[in-house]
């Protein structure tokens, strides 16, 4: 714990702290001298000048040791006491210079002080002067090199992080492009072919039964809408930034969109009784989209697994604390005994009947991923989803918390 605290002294921005320590040392040294070696007013003035000169070393790192050399020469010539404070000030100024500059700057700042020590007296004096001069320079150079190495390491780490982010984005872009290409070349092609064939059938069967015409018109409209959604999806996959959003529903339009889903299910022959709370128009976009997709998938499962004879109830409402609840239940398709029998669980919903209802990542035997997708949608919003048998039929129940809330997936 002590090392990090001491290292603060060697930071570039910590020069005021070093200045305060130098000033405290100067005052303490001058006051601690005995009566036999009491410093004169000249010694006090030279020590104060040395401290003040060091105060400018942060802004003028080369000028400070040069002025300190002049002060040291004056102190050796006119001072009454040993110029310890000036020597310490000169050493700290050299440390500041070496920490902030390199190369010839350090030479220019060091040579004048060495000349002062040389002029002062013997070679032993020069040796001591060289030690107290070069050690601060070496220490400052070391601190500067460590700081530069640390900055280079941080820069390399940041470059590596940016490189990995760029590679991740490129990989994701490649994946999106591949998916978009397959959607356009495969799925959209088949859907367009079906829309074309249904359109031909509408013209060929011009005198067909009105109910047949109604079914063909509905299939054709669904196909055209699907093609439009596919095109928007391909655009978003290829250009996420400028492609906009796919399938988002404005909050105020959610009740109407749910009513349209129910009407479409009824046109397919399902017997659906719906209770839609008008208050859901105030939900945010993400929760509104989740409710719409849950309703679509729930009714599609009823049509696929229970058959058109199943009686279905749909309830979408707001409950306490702004939470939204979606309930979709059917009676198992009593008009079709083979659908309402126990085989429905193993054929229609194997992941439920075999204990894999808790969000298994494996698709069911029919190749669908509806339950998994619904659980993922609800989990993203922090809600809970329960799907399972309810008497002879099945029930889907989802609870979505208010915006910013949290929940859990009931398993």
- Give per-residue pLDDT as tens, 196-227: 988 888 888 877 788 888 888 888 888 888 88
Query: Binning pLDDT at 50, 70 and 90, where does residue 157 land?
Result: very high
- Which residue from 283, 272, 346, 254 is spatially nearest to 315, judged by alpha carbons? 272
Query: Do 152 and 174 reside in the same domain of the chain?
Result: no
Are 326 and 319 in contact, with CB atoms under 8 Å apart? no
Structural domain total, the chain: 3
Confidence of residue 65 (pLDDT cuts 50, 70, 90): confident
Same domain, 153 and 175: no
Closest CA to 290 of 261, 318, 324, 265: 324
- Whether the Cβ atoms of residue 99 and residue 144 lie closer than 8 Å to each other: yes
Among 180, 206, 238, residue at a domain's last position: 238
Q: By three-state DSSP, how is residue 332 classified?
A: coil
| Same domain membership, residue 81 and residue 152 | yes
Predicted pLDDT of residue 212:
83
* CB-side neighbour CA atoms (13 Å) of 123: 0
pLDDT band per the 50, 70, 90 thresholds, residue 315: very high
Q: Output the pLDDT for position 122.
A: 65
pLDDT over 90 at 173, yes or no: no
**Residue 128 and residue 41 share a domain:** yes
Q: Tell me the residue range of the domain where 195 lies.
A: 170-238
362 falls within a domain: no
Would you say residue 43 lies in a domain? yes
Could you give the 3-state DSSP secondary structure of residue 111?
helix
| Contact by Cβ (8 Å): 40, 79 | yes
Same-domain pairing of 395 and 316: yes
Per-residue exposure over 97-109, b if at least 16 CB sit within 10 Å of its own CB, e if not = bbbbbeeeebeeb
Clarify whether residues 189 and 301 are in a common domain.
Answer: no
* Span 21-49, average pLDDT: 74
What is the C-alpha separation between 89 and 71, in angstroms, rounded?
10
Judged on CB neighbours under 10 Å (0-12, 13-18, 19+), 250 is: exposed
DSSP 208: S
Residue pair 21/95 in contact (Cβ under 8 Å)? The answer is: no
| Same domain assignment for residues 153 and 30 | yes
Bridge-based pairing of strands 271-276 and 324-330 is unpaired
Q: Please indicate, yes or no, whether the overall pTM of this predicted structure exceeds 0.75.
A: no
Q: Is residue 134 part of a domain?
A: yes
- Whole-angstrom distance, CA of residue 22 vs CA of residue 28: 10
Residues 151 and 178 in one domain: no
**Same domain, yes or no, for 175 and 154?**
no
Please give the average per-residue pLDDT across 68-77, as a whole number: 82
The reply to whether 348 falls in a domain is: no
Residue 364 covered by a domain: no
């Amino acid at each position: 714990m002590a090392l990090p605290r001491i290292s603060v002294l060697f930071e570039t921005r910590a020069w005021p702290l070093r200045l305060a320590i130098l000033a405290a040392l100067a005052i303490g040294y001058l006051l601690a001298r005995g009566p036999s070696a009491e410093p004169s007013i000249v010694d006090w003035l030279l020590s104060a000048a040395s401290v003040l000169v060091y105060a400018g070393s942060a802004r003028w790192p080369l000028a400070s040791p040069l002025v300190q050399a002049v002060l040291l020469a004056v102190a050796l010539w006119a001072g009454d006491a040993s110029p310890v404070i000036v020597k310490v000030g000169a050493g700290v100024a050299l440390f500041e210079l070496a920490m902030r500059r390199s190369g010839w700057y350090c030479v220019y700042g060091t040579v004048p002080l060495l000349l002062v020590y040389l002029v002062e007296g013997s070679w032993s004096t020069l040796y001591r002067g060289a030690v107290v001069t070069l050690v601060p320079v070496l220490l400052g150079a070391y601190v500067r090199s460590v700081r530069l190495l640390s900055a280079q390491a941080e820069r390399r780490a940041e470059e590596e992080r940016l490189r990995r982010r760029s590679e991740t984005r490129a990989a994701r872009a490649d994946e999106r492009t591949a998916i978009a290409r397959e959607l356009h070349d495969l799925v959209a092609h088949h859907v367009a072919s079906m829309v074309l064939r249904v359109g031909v059938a509408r013209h060929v069967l011009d005198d067909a039964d009105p109910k047949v015409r109604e079914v063909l018109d509905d299939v054709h409209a669904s196909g055209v809408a699907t093609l439009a959604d596919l095109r928007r999806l391909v655009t978003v996959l290829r250009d996420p930034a400028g492609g906009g959003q796919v399938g988002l529903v404005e909050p105020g339009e959610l009740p109407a969109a749910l009513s349209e889903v129910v009407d479409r299910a009824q046109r397919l022959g399902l017997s659906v009784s719906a209770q839609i709370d008008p208050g859901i128009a105030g939900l945010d976009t993400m929760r509104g989209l989740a409710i719409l997709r849950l309703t679509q998938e729930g009714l599609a499962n009823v049509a696929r697994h229970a058959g058109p004879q199943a009686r279905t109830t749909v309830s979408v409402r707001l409950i306490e604390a702004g939470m939204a609840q979606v309930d979709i239940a059917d009676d198992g398709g009593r008009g079709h005994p083979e659908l309402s029998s126990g085989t429905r669980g193993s054929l229609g919903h194997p992941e439920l009947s075999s204990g894999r209802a808790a969000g298994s990542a494996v698709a069911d035997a029919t190749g669908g991923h509806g339950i998994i997708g619904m659980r993922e949608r609800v989990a993203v919003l922090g809600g809970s989803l329960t799907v399972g048998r309810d008497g002879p039929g099945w029930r889907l129940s989802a609870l979505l918390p208010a915006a910013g809330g949290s929940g859990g997936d009931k398993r």
